[in-house]
Amino acid sequence: MNSKCTLILLFILLVSCQKNGEEEPNKTIKVSISTEKTEISELFSEFEFIHLKYDELIPSIFRVKEYNGDLFLLDGRKDRIFKLDENGDLDIFLQASGEGPEEYKSIGNFEFNHNSGELMVFDNVQRTLHNFTNEGQFSNSFLIKPGFAASYGNFFHGPKNEIILDIVGGKNHRFLKVFVDKNGYELFQLLDSAYHDLNYGNDRQIAQNKDGFSSIYSVESTIFQNTYDFIKTDSIDLDFGEFEILKSDLKNLSNNPNLFFELIQNDENKKAHSFGLLETENFYHVSFYLGSLMRGDFLNTLIHKDSKNSKTFKGIKIRGVELESIIIGQISDDRFILSLNIEYINNLTEEQKASISEYIPTDYLDDNPILLIGKVKAF
């Protein structure tokens, strides 16, 4: 058999294997660890600062969601949601905490129903999904039977009027799909992960995209891409080198919390863990701790989906002045939303404040939150 025939047969075999459902090896992305803060102009091609000044003090903003061009901001301490419209006007959109039948005890998370436009609020205390109209008026609620999980994390609205909740804690990491029209729900478990027998998690491990959703586990450095029917379509291994928790390490944990904390609370042999995930059209944002929760570094890695290039940074600098920040949301056109630590800024020297005053004027320093919205610079 000549070489040309051999190549043709190999090609046919490869196509046949793909058609029969055999998967290609996972893509791997090398993550270069950096614990430095990065100049803002090296991260973002465009950026703006927004001072969230209101009639009363806003303690802090924990999450931001975009819907129909407006930004909705969760004040988790006072359990209320603000709306920041396209004109920059800020007002309370929802404030219904209480003990009544049309109220919630706390807002664990929130999302929008893209069919009806209603705001969905998940109350982790009552294990209830509350729906509110686009004017903030109560519509209805849905109680989830106790016993499925310790708590629920991020959630989103699917294309068939179903709600998919990420379960945090419990025997296995799994998902709950709520069928809104049928007033029922069903559990799903992704079994292709080395992590699936462990119950360690956080509330920011899934991100919706146009084809389904992406997920990452707390101590397994792999991004899984899934359809709304929980079929894995792809996966990306993040290579943290010497800082990576190996799959063999995961198996040795045996769901033992003491072994788990011994593994992550180690600043002598630092490991990357406690992963969170955000996603835009062209980028992933992966957050994680390197080392212990108290003395380790909380880091950010931006990953370009096409080039598979990555960039890791601890925080931002403006004209050499270091600031503390955390990424709390994203906008589909590759913009990420950061919350700045206002207490840290207030404690800067007068010289440092003057250096950054073009971007953060002194009249912003009144203890209200400051947001930074930046469009990722190509890399």
What are the phi and psi torsion angles at 14 (to 5°)? -65, -45
> Residue 119 CB: number of other CB atoms within 10 A?
25
Q: What pLDDT was estimated at residue 342?
A: 94
Mean predicted lDDT score pLDDT of the chain: 87
Q: Token pair for residue 223?
A: 């991004």
The confidence band for 218, taking pLDDT boundaries of 50, 70 and 90, is confident
pLDDT at residue number 278: 97
Query: Cα–Cα distances in Å, from 220 out to 6, 23, 183, 310, 313?
Result: 40, 20, 34, 18, 20
Q: How would residue 269 be classed by pLDDT, with cut points 50, 70 and 90? A: very high
Q: Are 314 and 36 in contact (CB under 8 A)?
A: yes
Over residues 167-213, the pLDDT tens digits come to 886 666 578 888 887 878 888 877 677 776 676 778 889 999 989 99
So what's the pLDDT on residue 26? 65
Rounded to whole angstroms, how far apart are CA atoms 288 and 297? 8
pLDDT computed for residue 6 by the predictor: 40
Q: Is 268's pLDDT higher than 60?
A: yes
Q: Could you give the CA distance from residue 301 to residue 313 in angstroms, rounded to a whole number?
A: 7
For residue 202, give the nearest of 301, 287, 128, 324 by alpha carbon. Answer: 287
Paired tokens of 294? 């108290």
Residue 11 has pLDDT above 60, yes or no: no
Q: Is 242 helix (H, G, I), strand (E, B) or coil?
A: helix
pLDDT of residue 114: 85
Q: How far apart are CA 226 and CA 228, in angstroms?
A: 7
Across 32-41, average pLDDT? 94
Count of positions (residues) in the chain: 379
| Closest to 31 measured CA to CA, from 301, 224, 275 | 301
pLDDT attached to residue 146: 66
83-107 pLDDT, tens digit each = 999 889 999 999 999 988 899 999 9
| 3-class DSSP assignment, residue 336 | strand
Query: What share of the chain in percent tops pLDDT 70?
Result: 89
* Helix ranges restricted to H, the chain: 3-19, 40-43, 247-253, 257-264, 342-346, 350-356
What average pLDDT does this structure show over 13-30? 53
Residue range 61-71, pLDDT digits in tens: 999 999 999 99
What are φ and ψ of residue 26, in 5° steps? Answer: -60, 145
What is the Cα–Cα distance from 18 to 22, expressed in whole angstroms?
5
Write the pLDDT tens digit of every residue in 117-136.
999 999 988 888 999 998 88
Q: For residue 165, give the nearest of 136, 127, 222 by alpha carbon.
A: 127
In this structure, the number of other CB atoms found within 10 A of the CB of residue 34 comes to: 15
pLDDT value of position 13? 33
Retrieve residue 137's tokens. 């008026």
pLDDT recorded at residue 289:
96
Classify strands 315-318 and 37-39 as parallel, antiparallel or unpaired: parallel
pLDDT of 172: 61
The yes-or-no verdict on residue 55 having pLDDT over 60 is yes
At 341 the pLDDT is 95
- Contact assessment for residue 78 and residue 32, using Cβ atoms and an 8 Å cutoff: no
* pLDDT at 45 exceeding the cut of 80: yes
* pLDDT classification of 5: cutoffs 50, 70, 90: very low
CA–CA separation, 55 vs 89, rounded Å? 12
Residue 214 has pLDDT above 80, yes or no: yes
What is residue 287's predicted lDDT score, i.e. its pLDDT? 97
pLDDT beyond 50 at 115:
yes
Determine the pLDDT at residue 152. 81
Q: What is the distance between the alpha carbons of residues 202 and 104, in angstroms, rounded to a whole number?
A: 22
Coil, strand or helix at 176: strand
User: Cα–Cα distance between 164 and 377 in angstroms, integer?
Assistant: 32
Q: Quick one: pLDDT at residue 296? A: 95
- The whole-number pLDDT of residue 49 equals 97
